[in-house]
Amino acid sequence: MRKKRHPMPPKYEGMHPESLMMSYGYVPAWSEGSVKPPIFQTSTFAFQSAEEGKEFFQWAYGLKEKDPDKPMGLIYSRLNNPDLEILEERLKLWDEAEESAVFSSGMSAISTSLLSLVPIGEAVVFSRPIYGGTDLLLETILPERGIVTREFRARSEPEVVDAICQELKDAGTPARVIFLETPANPTMCMTDIEGMAEVAHRHEALCLVDNTFMGPLYQQPLKHGADLVVYSATKYLGGHSDLVAGVALGSCELIEQVKLYRTILGTMLEPFSAWLLMRSLETAKLRITCSRKNAEKVAAWLAEQPRIEKVHFPGMPDTPRQKEIYEKQCTGPGGMVAFDLKDAGEKEAFRFLNNIKLAKLAVSLGGTESLVEHPATMTHADVPVEEQEAIGITPALVRLSVGIEHPDDLISCLSYALEQIDVEEDDEVETTVASVDEESK
Ligand SMILES: Cc1ncc(COP(=O)(O)O)c(C=O)c1O
């Protein structure tokens, strides 16, 4: 007998999320004693009676107030599914959220949330730089559909955003959401969540934070006043670069509103990826902690290298204000590091990237393997060059997602690639031929 939305059983009270990731929200007796939740690979669910079916639909479509003592029944996997529900229960724990909703991707979590929260003619104010897909959504797609959008630089102080919100109000297009990505992708600069949430609330808007880069272990925006947190669960939560998923977390009231749009837009996650994500969450603490420790070592090493101009890493804030923000809202620096190569343009950066051996040259982040990419020509290629320059995405900038390999191996991989930047092209051909000969032996 499946019961949902019960309060946390007393036996779990006060326990840490990592202790609950293997058990919370699921009882083996629901599934023949299976210790792990099965994959409920079904599109639809049988009702025990026509009366029950009627009641479930009345609750689902808000036609009748739901009886709080009865569990919401299963109807159809676009509305609900046990794997999604158990996963949602577990995801709430890291961020201490009241409610959560899982999506088919980070972008569907972001777009569904914004569409459900911002009426046509009202505005989203967003920090830049921001993930390329979100940038396109905010710069082009939402404005084409009548939603007003205004940007601010990621390092801006709350007063700057306050003034933007006032202008929007005076123009009759009030801000409904202040959208932050902090640390920002790819430059890692941090924005004050608490300060921006205060501005949002002063203007009767909501503060939405994309917490993908830092992940839930080292930053919990709801605790700093944010109203909604979104993740690309493709990254740290999934953690193995083998699924695409998204999450939104917040109050029951907000998530209910977002879930209505999820049902109608059909942007929910499917059961197999939900099951895979549950498996990933069991090791989230271990993986994310290991990536963070490796990133600290790699960042410190990079900062000492003569071929590196600057390291961008939350644990190495470059101004007193960035340090203050870091200390206020982060409990660790995470596993993402970006760096500018010294005296380098695209050619030198590509030579570096083409000589990376252990890490993979690929976009995305937060997986067990290290991934390295070139934001100016890859993840942020759609940002106009002048805008790229203004926000610090130069041809010399490289983004590294640090995985769980041995840190010494990662450092030697980076060291080799740095050395290769200055190898003349003729030498490079010889080196390549030599290594092909070596491999074919
Ligand atoms: C910070 C951030 N937010 C959102 C997304 C979008 O997530 P997804 O690819 O799962 O749709 C990404 C993807 O790289 C990201 O880096």
pLDDT of residue 67: 82
The enclosing H or E element of 231 equals strand 228-232
Ligand 1 pocket residue status of 111, Cβ below 6 Å:
no
Query: What is the mean predicted confidence (pLDDT) over 21-29?
Result: 94
Q: How far apart are CA 293 and CA 159, in angstroms?
A: 35
Query: What is the mean predicted confidence (pLDDT) over 282-286?
Result: 98
Are the beta carbons of 253 and 233 closer than 8 angstroms? no
pLDDT surpasses 70 at 7: no
The enclosing H or E element of 234 equals none
pLDDT surpasses 80 at 436: no
pLDDT surpasses 60 at 431: no
Please report the atom of ligand 1 found closest to the CA of residue 212.
1
| 6 or 295: which leads in pLDDT | 295
pLDDT of residue 383: 86
pLDDT surpasses 50 at 1: no
Q: What is the pLDDT of residues 310-364, one digit of tens each?
A: 999 999 999 999 999 999 999 999 999 999 999 999 999 999 999 999 999 999 9
Cα dihedral: 175, 181, 187, 192 (round 10): 80
Per-residue pLDDT band for 69 (boundaries 50, 70, 90) equals: confident
Please state which of the ranges 292-296, 374-378, 424-428 shows the lowest mean pLDDT: 424-428
Tokens of 376: 């100016």
Q: How far apart are CA 90 and CA 278, in angstroms?
A: 8
Q: What is the pLDDT of residues 79-105, one digit of tens each?
A: 999 999 999 999 999 999 999 999 999
Q: How far apart are CA 135 and CA 188, in angstroms?
A: 16
pLDDT of residue 439: 55
pLDDT of residue 435: 55
Give the three-class secondary structure for 277: helix
Ligand 1 pocket residue status of 407, Cβ below 6 Å:
no
Please state which of the ranges 9-23, 95-109, 205-219, 333-347 shows the lowest mean pLDDT: 9-23
- Find, among 108, 81, 133, the residue nearest to 278 by Cα: 81
Q: Which of 211, 229, 234, 382 to mutate to test the pocket of ligand 1 (most atoms within 8 A of CB)?
A: 234
Give the Å distance between the CA of 109 and the centre of ligand 1.
10
Give the Å distance between the CA of 216 and the centre of ligand 1.
15
Per-residue pLDDT band for 425 (boundaries 50, 70, 90) equals: low
Ligand 1 pocket residue status of 193, Cβ below 6 Å:
no
Q: Which of 108, 126, 131, 393 to mutate to test the pocket of ligand 1 (most atoms within 8 A of CB)?
A: 131
Please report the atom of ligand 1 found closest to the CA of residue 234.
10
Question: Locate tokens 């058990």: which residue?
Answer: 23
| pTM over 0.85, yes/no | yes
Q: Which of 104, 107, 219, 378 to mutate to test the pocket of ligand 1 (most atoms within 8 A of CB)?
A: 107
Query: What is the mean predicted confidence (pLDDT) over 241-269?
Result: 97
Which domains occur in the chain, in start order? 10-42+77-282 (3.40.640.10), 285-440 (3.90.1150.10)
Following DSSP, what letter does each residue of 137-173 receive, concatenated? IIIIIHHHTT-EEEEEETT--HHHHHHHHHHHHHTT-
Give the Å distance between the CA of 212 and the centre of ligand 1.
7
